[in-house]
């Protein structure tokens, strides 16, 4: 998930104002979960989901050793389908995302906007400069514990396992966040969330939710591997230094190949359509970069967790990795990517 800090963002007055205004609106719309759960106007299905959030948060603190901070103690109905919209951009002939630097969060590979029109306007300006861009809705985000992040209405329609994993993921960001390393941060939080899900269902016994979550995780890994292979081919293509027109033709050919390979993968999944919408658009480098941000360092951190033997030891190992330079850290846990 995304870490959005609505303070001192050196990206121009308009970005600062929309970020600060959007965050203030979120805080104004939020109220204690207990108030929302006991409100007669709250729908029964919403009440049940909020009770699950309370239980999951207690579990995260007690069983996973995650911070008992201010997050997920409030509920906010935003009245919209996403909490924010993120913008990712890359140069036309590069798979590396552009990065924007914040005073506290460090440098990250996306911009977050509270209004879709603002996100599309920033994306349009980047495209005008020649960049590949991607705009996508995000159901939740983290302020890394600096503010009382609520659970949003945008999350409550998810399957139980996805909601649980998101809570564990976001609390993991509060446990450890390394400035200037989005890839490591997202992979770390994803590994903590996966461990949390397995522990949750170990305690409660076998569940079809766990089985479905594991199936989806397996599909997600295959999807990520498909994109990683495309990124590798494109990186080699761009390194050749072809004339721009020739490079564009070869680039389009690679994205056509990616869609063909997805059709083959979908068939192996028995026609599972979960990624159809992702492939139904004109793909570009920025779409690949957005997914890479979340997947590249996961295998290495899974190995670290297995070697640690406990969550507490894993947190210590991850913290030591966080003290390394970015290059050293990636060589150790992201080398396979």
pLDDT in tens, 250-270: 999 999 999 999 999 999 999
pLDDT at 10: 43
Q: Does the pLDDT at position 100 exceed 90?
A: no
pLDDT at 101: 80
pLDDT at 335: 73
What would the mean pLDDT of 132-138 be, rounded to a whole number?
A: 96
- The size of the chain, in residues, is 337
pLDDT at 180: 83
What would the mean pLDDT of 70-75 be, rounded to a whole number?
A: 96
CB 3 within 8 A of CB 185: yes
Q: Does the pLDDT at position 62 exceed 50?
A: yes
Radius of gyration of the chain measured on its C-alpha atoms: 20
Q: Does the pLDDT at position 160 exceed 90?
A: yes
The pTM for the full model equals 0.86
Long-range contacts of 216-222 (CB under 8 A, 24+ apart): 216/274, 219/269, 219/272, 219/274, 219/275, 222/265
Least confident of 2-16, 122-136, 212-226: 2-16
Distance CA(1)–CA(294), nearest Å, equals 8
How many C-beta atoms surround the C-beta of residue 151 within 10 A?
Answer: 28
Please report, for residues 33, 50, 81, 148, the alpha-carbon distance to residue 36 in angstroms, rounded to integers and kept in the order given: 5, 8, 19, 16
pLDDT at 90: 97
pLDDT at 103: 65
Mean pLDDT of the chain: 91
Which residue, among 293, 296, 335, has the nearest Cα to 86 in the 3D structure? 293
Q: Does the pLDDT at position 158 exceed 60?
A: yes
pLDDT at 109: 84
pLDDT at 9: 41
């Amino acid at each position: 998930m995304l870490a959005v800090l609505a303070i001192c963002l050196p990206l121009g007055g308009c970005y600062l104002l929309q970020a600060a205004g959007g965050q203030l609106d979120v805080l104004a719309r939020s109220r204690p979960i207990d108030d929302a759960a006991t409100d007669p106007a709250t729908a029964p299905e919403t009440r049940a989901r909020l009770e699950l959030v309370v239980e999951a948060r207690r579990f995260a603190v007690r069983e996973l050793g995650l911070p008992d901070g201010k997050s997920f103690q409030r509920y906010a109905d935003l009245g919209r389908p996403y909490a924010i919209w993120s913008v990712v951009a890359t140069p036309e002939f590069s798979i590396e995302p552009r990065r924007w630097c914040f005073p506290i969060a460090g440098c990250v590979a996306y911009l977050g906007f509270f209004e879709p029109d603002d996100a599309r306007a920033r994306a349009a300006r980047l495209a005008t400069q020649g960049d590949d861009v991607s705009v996508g809705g995000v159901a939740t985000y983290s302020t890394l514990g600096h503010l009382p992040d609520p659970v949003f209405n945008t999350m409550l329609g998810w399957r139980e396992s996805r909601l649980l994993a998101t809570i564990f993921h976001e609390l993991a960001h509060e446990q450890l966040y390394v400035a200037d390393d989005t890839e490591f941060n997202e992979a770390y939080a994803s590994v903590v969330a996966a461990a949390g899900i397995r522990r949750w269902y170990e305690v409660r016994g076998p569940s079809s939710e766990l089985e479905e979550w594991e199936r989806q995780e397996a599909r997600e890994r295959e999807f990520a591997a498909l994109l990683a292979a495309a990124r590798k081919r494109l990186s080699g293509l761009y390194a050749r230094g072809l004339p721009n027109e020739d490079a564009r033709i070869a680039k389009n050919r690679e994205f056509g190949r990616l869609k063909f390979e997805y059709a083959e993968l979908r068939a192996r999944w028995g026609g599972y359509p979960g990624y159809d919408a992702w492939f139904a658009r004109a793909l570009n480098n920025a779409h690949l970069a957005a997914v890479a941000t979340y997947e590249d360092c996961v295998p290495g951190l899974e190995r670290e967790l297995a070697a640690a033997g406990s969550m507490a030891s894993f947190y210590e190992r991850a913290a030591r990795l966080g003290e390394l330079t970015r290059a050293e850290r990636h060589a150790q846990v992201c080398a396979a990517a």
